Amino acid sequence: MFGWMIALPLWLLVTVATLYNIAAITDSSVYSTALTELVPPHYLGAAYALRSLLGFGAGIMSPWVFGLVMDWARGEPLNSETMAWGLAWTALGVGAALGPLMTVMLRETPEAHKMACGKR
């Protein structure tokens, strides 16, 4: 949604970006806590390492994908700056949408029952 907001006033765009970043930062501790509660202690270091590898890996690939989509949308047949920004941010959003999908899938596992003390 962010890329499609390119024509909005700058103050509104900065406000949305700030709120998004505050919300995005707050979920990290939840993931760390979940790992601590669910992973056997002798695998905890490896679990944190894998989490970091996947997170930094996504962080490495995202700018590349963003740039590919921007270049494609600026060229023929689209040749549109607005479309380029919208599609580039949408490409990142598609990757980010995997998070909620994985959360829904986690909810169905026995580990989710263990994490929530039996509450669903």
**Per-residue pLDDT reduced to its tens digit, 29-78:** 777 888 888 888 999 999 999 988 988 998 899 999 999 999 999 988 88
Dist. CA 35–CA 51, nearest whole Å: 9
pTM: 0.69
Q: What pLDDT, on a 0 to 100 scale, did the predictor assign at position 117?
A: 67
In terms of phi and psi (left: phi > 0; alpha: psi -120 to 50; beta: otherwise), the region of 64 is alpha
Between 105 and 114, whose confidence is greater? 105
Q: What pLDDT, on a 0 to 100 scale, did the predictor assign at position 12?
A: 93
Q: What pLDDT, on a 0 to 100 scale, did the predictor assign at position 116?
A: 65
Residue 120 pLDDT greater than 60, yes or no: no
- Judge contact between 120 and 108, C-beta under 8 A: no
**Which token pair is 86?**
């919208």
